[in-house]
Every structure is written in C-alpha cells, then in structure tokens.
Amino acid sequence: MSSGNIKACPRCGSLRIRAPSLREGGIPGTSEVAGIYYCEKCRKKIVPVVFDDEKQYRKFLKGRQYKALIFK
C-alpha cells in the first residue's frame, strides 16, 4: 500500500471504492468531484475517509474492530 491519500469506506473500512456507475445513481465525471463514491464491499454510496498514510488507516481499522467487539 503506498503512502499518500488513502481512501476507505467509513462503514466497513474497505479500500475497494470507486465512483458510482449510472446504475448506482452516479453521474459520470461529477461523482468524484462531489466526493461521492461507491463501496464494493458494503454496496453503499459513501463519502470516503481519507488518510495521509498507512499508519493512520491501520489505526482506523483497529478502532473499528474494537467498536465491533463492544457493540455486539
């Protein structure tokens, strides 16, 4: 994973996000500008969380796992 702008889904933490297609309610060329993406894992339109580096992303994932254990 390279350092720089790492975009992840705020719901599930997946890095498998992309601009939504027409079928998913996206408008070509405008979704990325508006900051709207589609998560392929949880299948939701989202505004991604942006991390500066892999360390921040891993910390985010660790916090998600902790919350999942608490709120089961």
Q: Which domain holds residue 63?
A: 6-70
Give the three-state DSSP class for 39: strand
The pTM score is: 0.74
The pLDDT, as a whole number, for residue 4 is: 65
Is a pLDDT exceeding 70 seen at residue 72? no
Residue 60 CB burial class (10 angstroms; 0-12, 13-18, ≥19): middle
Q: Is residue 63 part of a domain?
A: yes
For the chain, the domain total comes to 1
Is a pLDDT exceeding 50 seen at residue 59? yes
Q: Is residue 18 part of a domain?
A: yes
Residue 19 CB burial class (10 angstroms; 0-12, 13-18, ≥19): middle
Amino acid in the structure at residue 28: P
pLDDT band of 11, cuts 50, 70, 90 = very high
Q: Is residue 1 part of a domain?
A: no
Q: Is residue 66 part of a domain?
A: yes
Q: Is residue 10 part of a domain?
A: yes
